Structure 1
Amino acid sequence: MNTKAQAIRLGVDRGVREFRHSMGSSDQFYNVFTGLAALTVLWFQRDSSVDGSDISLAALTLPSLLGMGMVFGALVGPAGQLSTNREDGTLLRAKAVPNGMVGYLVGRTVQTSLDSLTGLLIVLVPGLFLVNVLSDAGVGGVLRLFAVLALGMVSMLPWGAVAGSITKSPGGAMGITMLPMMGLVAISGIFYPITAMPGWLQGVAQVFPVYWAAHGARASLLPDAAAVAEIGGTWRIMEMIGVLGVWAVVGFLLAPTILRRMARRESGSDMEQRRQAAMQRVR
């Protein structure tokens, strides 16, 4: 087995172990908290209908939350983890091992995927008791849903790595990912039809993956009648694939270069400065 293949295998193993460790940490508390918040929204929306159809607003919101959650986790999770690992010396140690950065990035990808899947199930499983969106979707709809969610994750993972590379602290990484993401969630038709937004905000939302991942999730699970709440009154699958694909391709072209530059700049003295700054924040 060559060193790169060995690094990938070790990265997968590390990602699984770190995910298991995170099951008892505050990370899963965050997943549970946000899941309960989402289910509360669905509970209050269950008796409201989308204008022009008999589709409940909760049925529109549930797949939207799944798409949004996958994109959100793929950006914010790696950004916070990478910036934390720069601070505690994990990246410096990975840099010193042959193909260590390959193994590190594989591990981050595996952990992020498992964390995102856990958050998805926390919303989806109880949500199905509040909203029946699978009766018309069938097995094909569920498979399309997971394909959309995988594409949504891939579209944001490299950008999470970029955000973690260019910031100097975990707080900075959260600031440049969570705040813009929360703004995009507000205008992307997650909790109400996007057609209720002003036209210029609809245009802004369509530039970013949040709207398209949620749109694809809705198209996967909801009947054609639900498209009345979409821009143009139709499901735009090819546009969704195109936008998410462009974000993924550009991200994977930029991320390796930025990560290599960041890794080259890593040194023991820089790590110690960040560690001291972190200790000052704690005090």
Structure 2
Amino acid sequence: MSGAPAAPPARAAAPLPSIAATGWSRGLLETKTFFRERDAVVFTFAFPIVLQVVFGSIFRGAVPGTEISFAQLYTAGLIGAAVMGASFQNLGIGIAVDRDDGTLRRLAGTPLPHGAYFTGKVLNVLLVALLDVVILLALGVLMYDLKLPDELFRWATFAWVFVLGITGSALLGIAASGLPRSAKSASAVISLPFVVLQFISGVFVPFTQLPEWLITIASVFPLKWMCQGFRSVFLGDAGAALELTGSYELDRAALVLGAWVAGGLILCLTTFRWKGRRDG
């Protein structure tokens, strides 16, 4: 007596890709999308270069009392501004646009891990920031006789300032992406405070020419400490005399930047929204 045909064995469900794998794929997609937007590419890379050339051409010669040229001083500061621009500004605007056009809402309804979306964004930010730094340093060396450090500890300082600075700025950008009401207002809402922050953080205007209350405000935010850290790397001991305290205060810079990493993470976890205000 023959029995009923045996049911085929159930196939095991294929394991989902890891966050690292999907994050890498998202990073490639974000990078391809970024470089296809020619206007954004030109602005991101050309803006700090134009400022470097303009300020280097207007303010010639050495800073009084030092052998450091104004162009070298601006180059070191613009590196900090470029790193924060690539992270805070690009993420703040980009995520606001993704939220407004429904991209975030659609991604939230897919099996894509939420962490993969942010990993992809951060990978793109890292690439853009590193390219910005390399270009500014190359111009500084070729046009303004900027000396690259030959001491290992100064490159180590560059590494931790870069990592803490870009991490804190990226988290701040993710948190700030919820402020714009729409994609149209994102650029103004995110870019305006960043531009103001550059003027009060020692990027364009020396601290010695700023009122004390503006210095106090700038000291709260990461950009001042990023620029100060990068000046310590590329200007060395000679540049310390240009700081308000006669020192780069690297221990305090590490403390403030680390606090922004922790604070930015808390802000992101408590305020980030996948839906826009119009989505309910």
TM class, shorter-length: 0.7 to 0.9
Q: TM-score, normalised by structure 1?
A: 0.85
Who is 2:5 aligned against?
none
Match of 1:226 among 218, 239, 253: 239
CA distance in 2, matches of 1:21, 1:91: 16
1:240 aligns with 2:260: no
Aligned length: 266
Residue pairs, 1:1-283, within 5 angstroms: 3=16, 6-25=18-37, 26-44=39-57, 47-259=60-272, 262-263=273-274, 265=275, 270=279
Question: In the aligned structure 2, how far is the partner of 1:2 from the partner of 1:45?
Answer: 60
CA distance in 2, matches of 1:136, 1:162: 35
Cα drift, residue 139 of structure 1? 4.5
Which residues of structure 2 form unaligned runs of 5+? 1-13
Q: Secondary structure at the match of 2:65?
A: coil
CA contact (8 A) 1:11 1:107 kept: yes
Whether the 8 Å contact between 2:31 and 2:124 is mirrored in structure 1 is: yes
- Kept after mapping to 2: 8 A contact 1:7/1:103: yes
Q: Which amino acid aligns with 1:248?
A: V
* Aligned-residue offset at 1:68: 1.5
Q: Are the counterparts in 1 of residues 149 and 155 from structure 2 also a CA contact under 8 Å?
A: no
Residue identity in the other structure for 1:124: L
Is residue 57–residue 192 contact of structure 1 (8 Å, CA) maintained in 2? no
**Which amino acid counterpart does residue 113 of structure 2 have in structure 1?**
G
Q: Percent identity?
A: 25
Ranges in structure 1 where 5+ consecutive residues have no aligned partner: 272-283
Higher mean alpha-carbon deviation, 239-248 vs 127-136, is at: 127-136
Shifted more, 118-127 versus 175-184: the winner is 118-127
C-alpha contact (below 8 Å) 1:45/1:56 kept by paired residues: no
1:105 is displaced (CA, Å) by 1.1
CA RMSD, 1 decimal: 2.4
How many Å separate the matches in 1 of 2:163 and 2:58?
27
Q: 1:194 to 1:2 in 2, by over 3 A?
A: farther
Superimposed CA distance per residue, residues 23-81 of structure 1 (whole angstroms, 9 cap, x where no aligned partner): 24222111232143133135316732222212111111111110121112211111111
CA offset digits 1:145-181 (Å, max 9, x no partner): 2331221111111111112124331233322221111
Displacement, 1:234? 0.9
Query: What code does the residue aligned with 1:83 have?
Result: A
Map Cα deviations across residues 65-117 of structure 1 (whole Å, 9 max, x no partner): 10121112211111111111112222112111235322111111111221222
Structure 1 residue runs of 4 or more that deviate by more than 6 Å after TM superposition: none
Distance 1:86 1:160 in 2: 14
> Larger helix proportion, structure 1 or 2?
1
State the alpha-carbon separation in 1 of the partners of residues 102 and 174 from structure 2.
17
Contact 2:149 2:233 in 1 (8 A): no
Name which one, 1 or 2, has greater alpha-carbon Rg.
Answer: 2
In the superposition, relative to structure 1, how do residues 131 and 109 fare at CA in structure 2: closer, same or farther (>3 Å)? same
For residues 228 and 33 of structure 1, the distance between their equivalents in structure 2, rounded to whole angstroms, comes to 31
Alpha-carbon distance in 2 for matches of 1:140, 1:46: 30
For 1:179 and 1:12, how far apart are their aligned partners in 2?
Answer: 31
Q: State which drifts further: 245-254 or 19-28.
A: 19-28
Contact 1:154/1:248 (CA < 8 Å) preserved in 2? yes
Tell me the alpha carbon deviations over residues 231-274 of structure 1, each in whole angstroms, 9 at most, x when there is no partner: 11111001101111111101101202222xx22x569x839xxx
CA separation in 1, counterparts of 2:63 and 2:169? 30
